[in-house]
Structure 1
Amino acid sequence: MDHEDLRHWSKRAADWTAEYHAGLRDRPVRAPLTPGAVASALPPAPPEAAEPMEAIWADFERLVPGAMTHWQHPRFFAYFPANAAPASMLAEQLVNAMACQGMIWQTSPAATEVEQVMVQWLRAALGLPEGFSGTIHDSATTATLSAVLTMREQALGWQGLAQGLPGAPRLRLYASEETHSSVDKAARLSGIGQENLVKVPTDAALSMRPGALAGAIEADRAAGFLPAGVILCAGGTSVGAFDHIADCIAAAKAEGLPVHVDAAWAGSAMICPEFRALWQGIEGADSIVFNPHKWLGVQFDCAVQFLRDPGPQVRTLGLRPSYLETAGREEIVNFNEWTVPLGRRFRALKLWFVLRAYGLEGLRARIRNHIAWAAEACEALRALPGVEIVTEPRLSLFTFALEDEAATMALLARINDEGRVYLTQTRHQGRYVIRVQVGQFDCTREDVMEIPAAVTRLM
């Protein structure tokens, strides 16, 4: 295959893409769950000779689309969305064509500088104060790990990188039960350890209790532990919980601890000023992560981390051997020093395209619609006999259940097997519940109202 072949097949792919999206409502949202079906249809070994693209394309159409869960389906209400607006897809095509490796400024100057500007555009769009800078990671998991590694090094006086953790004081991190499992993963991978991630009690609103946070830190110091940092939740994955951001930051700062805020899903909603009360006090955080790929139409992967001061994180993660120096540019920004991987994709281009193609008002309108439609679907479910709303809507996320757990599980299975909508489950305070999360870029009110219709039909 050469570049002239690529020209032909790219046009074919563009046509396929348009037809695929136009026909998504006619497909079941979730693929049939038959483990091994695709693998068994593939040859056990690679071909020795080149095969014609016609045959490769035919196999793709035969094997792949029908075995996919369709994340761009307008009735995908599971997990959180991983949206891909058309403008984002176009930008990704251009990024794929250039195939740059943006590890340092000189290897891709535009990639670095567009990223710097996009972080500032988003900072302003979310209402964060001037002074925050930041970078784009692949996912919030990497951003949180970067923040936790930085907390570790700050607590150890920058000795962990060289000396390792044996012999060091036992470090402690603080979060609530509502935080994402990526916080647990960061505790494990950073060497701090799962047992040293203290889950601070929450109140009736599922928000971390600032007094309990202060008490846990004080008790740990008395026991000889070394508190390292606090991770707060702004829109939990399970049921959308928000910690008391301002009060918890105040409690952490009183103890001299840095604070990272995980707003991976809900952060996008903060482009709407009326929702910013949910994370009041956010300007006091040291690190904040949110995922434009969840709710702003910028396709996966794209997680933005804002930093009050990038210095500690660069000191923790940065490593500049001579072959990665830019001659005469000692103070230039090299974003690989802000995160874990050395290699970096040009993720900022799709942000630039999406923010310009839809504008903040267009994106705000989508988010406001999703939240309003989720509330309407919630009320329709509440009116159904035998259905209980377990957690009320937080932005566009709520949960419901039937009285009997087995019946709830069976209902979810019937809904997903039918394929008209896709929902997932969680456990809330030990109870099995069904999650509803509205956020797919192209969904309509009619798509959302198919949720109570499906429950009515299948209950």
Structure 2
Amino acid sequence: MNHDELRDWSKRAADWGHAYHAGLRDRPVRAATTPGEIAAMLPPAPPEQAEAMETIFADFERIVPPGLTHWQHPRFFAYFPANAAPASMLAEQLANTIAAQGMLWQTSPALTEIEQVMMVWLREALGLGPGFTGTIHDSATTATLSAVLTMRERALDWKGIETGLSGQPPVRIYVSPEAHSSVDKAVRVAGIGQANLVRIPTDAHNAMKPGALAGAIAADRAAGFLPAGIVLVAGGTSIGAFDGIRDCLQVAQAEGLYTHVDAAWAGSAMICPEFRPLWDGVEGADSVVFNPHKWLGAQFDCAVQFLADPAPQVRTLGLRPVFLETLEHEEVVNFNEWTVPMGRRFRALKLWFLIRAYGLDGLRARIRDHVAWAEALCTDLAGIEGVEIVTGPSLSLFTFALTAGDAATEALLTRINEDGRVYLTQTRHDGRFVIRVQVGQFDCTREDVMTVAAVVRELLA
């Protein structure tokens, strides 16, 4: 394929994309396939000779769409969304066309400088104030790993990156049971170890108990451990739990510990001032992550990490060999030093397009609608005989179960997802199997959301 052919096929791909999105409501949300079925449709060996693009595209249309779980489906209420607003999709097409690698300022100045400005825009949009700067990662998992590595090195006075962890006291990281599994992955990858991730008890609101946190830190110090940092939850994945950020940060500051707030999902809602009390005190954190690709409309992948002071993270992750020096401008920002990967995509472009195309008012309206529709759906489900709301709405996330018990609830979820009109997932809360409902797909309507209750009623009849 040459660039002339690319122009023609790009137009065809755009037409296909328009038809795909227009017809999503007519498709089942989740793929109706069995493991290995799609792989069996592909040849076992690569072709020796070039194939016609007509054949390749025809195979794409035949194999791929039926094998997808459609994340942009307006009745996708499982997990958290990975949104793709049309303006963001357009920006991503342009970024793919440019195909720039923005590891340094000098390798693509526009990538770095637009990213810097987008961090200011988002900081102001979320009400974080001028003390924070930031960068873009691929996902919150990478941002959390970066924060945990920084916690480790700060506590060890940066000896870990120089001489390793052997001979150092065991580093301890503190979380609530509502923390995302990405924190578990971070302590494993960072060499801290799962056994040194300390779970702090929660209160009746599923928030970390500050007193228990302080007690655990004191006990660990007495036992010879090295407390290093705290990861706080602002909108947990399971039931949408929020830690008491301000009270926990007071403990962290008294103990001299580095703090990271995981607001991967709920952070987007903070563009609405009325939701900001949920993360009251966040301005005192060292690091905050949120994913614009989850609820703000940015195409996956796009995770934003705000830092009160980037110096500790840059000291932990930054390397500047001679071949990466910018000889004419020594003090420019090179974002590869803030993150784990060396290479960097032009992720800021989709934020620039997205915010301008919809405006903060337009994005706020969507989030407010999702929250209101989730509350309406919760009320509707509560009126169905045999259905119990287990955890009420936290923003646009709530859980429910059948009073008949776990087996009946699990069987209902299987029937819902096999039906195909909506897609939901499960979690466990207080030992119970419960069904999660999370409203956040960019183009869903109130009617789409209320379909969940209609499906449940029908299947229980």
TM-score when normalising by structure 2: 0.99
Task: Provide the secondary structure at the position in 2 that maps to 1:227.
Answer: strand
2:424 aligned partner = 423
Rounded to whole Å, the distance in 2 between the matches of 1:95 and 1:429 is 45
Rounded to whole Å, the distance in 2 between the matches of 1:344 and 1:32 is 35
1:238 aligned partner = 238
1:224 aligned partner = 224
Task: Provide the secondary structure at the position in 1 that maps to 2:389.
Answer: strand
**Aligned-partner residue type, residue 437 of structure 1:** Q
Task: Give matches, 1:84-99, under 5 Å.
Answer: 84-99=84-99
Task: Give matches, 1:387-402, under 5 Å.
Answer: 387-402=387-402
Deviation track 1:83-112 (CA, whole Å, cap 9, x = no partner) reads 000000000000000001111111110000
1:71 aligned partner = 71
Task: Give matches, 1:98-247, under 5 Å.
Answer: 98-247=98-247
1:307 aligned partner = 307
Rounded to whole Å, the distance in 2 between the matches of 1:170 and 1:94 is 47
Task: Provide the secondary structure at the position in 2 that maps to 1:107.
Answer: coil
Rounded to whole Å, the distance in 1 between the matches of 2:278 and 2:292 is 18
Gap runs ≥5 in structure 1: none
2:325 aligned partner = 325
Rounded to whole Å, the distance in 2 between the matches of 1:406 and 1:400 is 14
2:413 aligned partner = 412
Rounded to whole Å, the distance in 1 between the matches of 2:395 and 2:95 is 33
Deviation track 1:223-267 (CA, whole Å, cap 9, x = no partner) reads 111100000000000000000000000011100101100000000
Rounded to whole Å, the distance in 2 between the matches of 1:102 and 1:4 is 27
**Aligned-partner residue type, residue 448 of structure 2:** D
Rounded to whole Å, the distance in 2 between the matches of 1:299 and 1:354 is 9
Q: How many residues align?
A: 459
**Aligned-partner residue type, residue 443 of structure 2:** D
Task: Provide the secondary structure at the position in 2 that maps to 1:376.
Answer: helix
Rounded to whole Å, the distance in 2 between the matches of 1:152 and 1:405 is 40
Rounded to whole Å, the distance in 1 between the matches of 2:435 and 2:389 is 10
Task: Provide the secondary structure at the position in 2 that maps to 1:105.
Answer: coil
1:363 aligned partner = 363
Rounded to whole Å, the distance in 2 between the matches of 1:108 and 1:421 is 43
Task: Give matches, 1:416-455, under 5 Å.
Answer: 416-455=417-456
1:343 aligns with 2:368: no
Task: Give matches, 1:8-87, under 5 Å.
Answer: 8-87=8-87
In the TM superposition, residue 33 of structure 1 has moved relative to its aligned partner by 3.5
Task: Provide the secondary structure at the position in 2 that maps to 1:37.
Answer: coil
Gap runs ≥5 in structure 2: none
Rounded to whole Å, the distance in 1 between the matches of 2:226 and 2:11 is 59
Task: Provide the secondary structure at the position in 1 that maps to 2:123.
Answer: helix
Task: Provide the secondary structure at the position in 1 that maps to 2:434.
Answer: strand
In the TM superposition, residue 328 of structure 1 has moved relative to its aligned partner by 2.0
- Which has the higher mean CA deviation after the structures are superposed, 323-332 or 133-142? 323-332
In the TM superposition, residue 7 of structure 1 has moved relative to its aligned partner by 0.5
In the TM superposition, residue 129 of structure 1 has moved relative to its aligned partner by 1.4
**Aligned-partner residue type, residue 415 of structure 2:** R
1:386 aligns with 2:379: no
Rounded to whole Å, the distance in 2 between the matches of 1:407 and 1:257 is 45
Rounded to whole Å, the distance in 2 between the matches of 1:33 and 1:209 is 44
Deviation track 1:278-300 (CA, whole Å, cap 9, x = no partner) reads 00000000000000000010010
Rounded to whole Å, the distance in 1 between the matches of 2:23 and 2:409 is 31
In the TM superposition, residue 162 of structure 1 has moved relative to its aligned partner by 1.1
In the TM superposition, residue 25 of structure 1 has moved relative to its aligned partner by 0.1
Rounded to whole Å, the distance in 1 between the matches of 2:154 and 2:203 is 30
TM-score when normalising by structure 1: 1.00
2:295 aligned partner = 295
Deviation track 1:128-159 (CA, whole Å, cap 9, x = no partner) reads 01020010000000000000000100000111
Task: Give matches, 1:244-263, under 5 Å.
Answer: 244-263=244-263
Task: Provide the secondary structure at the position in 1 that maps to 2:11.
Answer: helix
Rounded to whole Å, the distance in 1 between the matches of 2:131 and 2:453 is 45
After TM superposition, what 4+ stretches of structure 1 lie above 2 angstroms from structure 2?
Answer: none
Task: Provide the secondary structure at the position in 2 that maps to 1:228.
Answer: strand
Rounded to whole Å, the distance in 2 between the matches of 1:198 and 1:331 is 39
Rounded to whole Å, the distance in 2 between the matches of 1:209 and 1:388 is 27
